[in-house]
Amino acid sequence: MRLHVVNPNTTATMTAKIAAAARAIARGETVIDARQPAMGPVSIEGFYDEAFAVPGMLGCIREADRDGADAHIIACFDDTGLDAARAVAKAPVIGIGEAGFHIASLVAARFAVVTTLGVSIVPIEHNLRKYGLAERCARVRAAEVPVLALEERNAEALDKISAEIKAAIRDDRAEAVVLGCAGMADLAAELARIHGLPVVDGVAAAVTLAEGLIRLGLSTSRLGPYAAPRAKIYSGPFAPFQP
């Protein structure tokens, strides 16, 4: 099977880190095709960045569909453009945020999310309510670590994330933690060992769920909001995106 993993930002080193995390968990026969858009922000930190990341990401998904992807994974914890991607993609689409929440809910009654910056807390809380999992989440915490600070192993960033996990256990009674950024993918195992609880990386969770969907022969339902968009003219620089 062929999984397309798209990093919605334009930072190539982050795409490489995400691809490595995906390949580490994927089954032996699974091919990981990692891509990033040519246009958009270098990182996604809040609603404004997200808006400009979506067109390029959708372009990657359309290209990967044509190349035979069996499923797509959006490797941004805010699940950037997930609904639009499900409407346009031929193959099923999974966001790493939604995947991480669902996996955490299977191993703990209460989980916490530790993300990068405070600006991401509200979008994540919005998604938890949308997915029906807000009651299972004890709290969304921010380590106040910029996304690009996770590009290289950074002791200060790791300490800040670790401190928020410790606080989530102590103050929020969290029984598991979901790491709220694809750039944290390589930290999950170490943080789980340090703190003695399940630590969920959304990239690994999404790869596992995508492989399961493919094996079950399931794809996106077209009977509701994920029906294919109706043909119409898109103007200006968005002309290539018209259905």
Inform me whether the pLDDT recorded for 93 exceeds 90: yes
Q: What is the pLDDT of residues 144-179, one digit of tens each?
A: 988 878 876 678 888 999 999 999 999 999 999 999
Please give the CATH number for the structural domain made up of 2-95+204-220. 3.40.50.12500
What's the distance, Cα to Cα, between the start and end of the chain in Å?
A: 27
Please report, for the chain, the start and end positions of each structural domain, with discontinuous segments joined by +: 2-95+204-220, 97-202
Check for a shared fold between 2-95+204-220 and 97-202: yes
Mean pLDDT of 13-23: 94
Pair type for strands 93-95 and 71-74: parallel
The residue to which tokens 């991401």 are assigned: 120
Q: For a pLDDT cut of 70, what percent of the chain falls above it? A: 99
CATH class of 97-202: alpha beta
- Give the sign of the dihedral formed by CA 211, CA 213, CA 217, CA 218: negative
Q: Centre a 10 Å sphere on the Cβ of residue 122 and count the other Cβ atoms it contains.
A: 12
Burial profile 9-43: b = 16 or more Cβ within 10 angstroms, e = fewer: bbbeebbebbbebbeebbeeebebbbbbbeebbeb
